[in-house]
């Protein structure tokens, strides 16, 4: 079953600062819960390919994604990983010179086993925790 999730927050930082923080792939290890490694594998003018490693439910998982960065947006597509299907889109909106809105919209399908182990509230909490960690990182 395909799930949709959307989280957004107003951030008291300018749009470019917020976008640059989220676009820095190797920073993901600092704020995605359970992420033990974030490595940029390939970078060119059109897209980046990165690898994330997770320690979750006593197992290691890897997600390889293609990320297209443009106009304060980052489109994410899983190339390899534990999801049957995953797409995400970060959008950094302008509210004022010193306030931005960070919005993450995802569409994904978990494998049958994981879908039965993880209730929706756990998935929602995971995404909220990642966004909150982004915000804390921006405050430093």
pLDDT tens string 28-76: 888 777 889 999 999 999 999 999 998 876 778 899 999 999 999 999 9
Q: Is residue 40 in some structural domain? A: no
Query: Residue 73 sits in a domain of what CATH number?
Result: 3.30.530.20
* Cα–Cα distance measured from residue 98 to residue 63, given in angstroms and rounded to the nearest whole number: 33
Q: Is residue 127 in some structural domain? A: yes
Q: Is residue 97 in some structural domain? A: yes
Q: Is residue 123 in some structural domain? A: yes
Q: Is residue 87 in some structural domain? A: yes
pLDDT band of residue 125 (cuts 50, 70, 90) is low
Tokens of 14: 């300018």
- Burial of residue 113 (CB within 10 Å: 0-12, 13-18, 19+) is exposed
What per-residue confidence (pLDDT) applies to 5? 83
Tokens of 99: 């306030």
Residue 84 belongs to domain spanning: 3-24+67-139
The answer to pTM > 0.85 is no
Q: Is residue 79 in some structural domain? A: yes
Looking at the 3D structure of the chain, how many domains does it have?
1
Q: Is residue 47 in some structural domain? A: no
**pLDDT 10s digits, 77-99:** 999 988 888 999 999 999 999 99
Q: Is residue 42 in some structural domain? A: no
């Amino acid at each position: 079953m395909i799930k949709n999730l959307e989280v957004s927050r107003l951030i008291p930082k300018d749009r470019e600062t917020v976008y640059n923080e989220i676009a820095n792939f190797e920073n993901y290890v600092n704020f995605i819960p359970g992420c033990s490694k974030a490595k940029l594998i390939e970078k060119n003018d059109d897209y980046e390919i990165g690898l994330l490693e997770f320690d979750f439910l006593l197992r290691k998982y890897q997600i390889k994604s293609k990320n297209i960065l443009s106009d304060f947006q980052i489109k994410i597509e899983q190339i390899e990983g534990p999801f049957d299907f995953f797409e995400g889109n970060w959008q950094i909106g302008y509210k004022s010179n010193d306030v931005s809105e960070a919005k993450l919209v995802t569409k994904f399908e978990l494998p049958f086993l994981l879908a039965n182990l993880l209730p929706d509230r756990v998935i929602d909490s995971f995404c909220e925790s990642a966004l909150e960690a982004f915000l804390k990182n921006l405050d430093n």
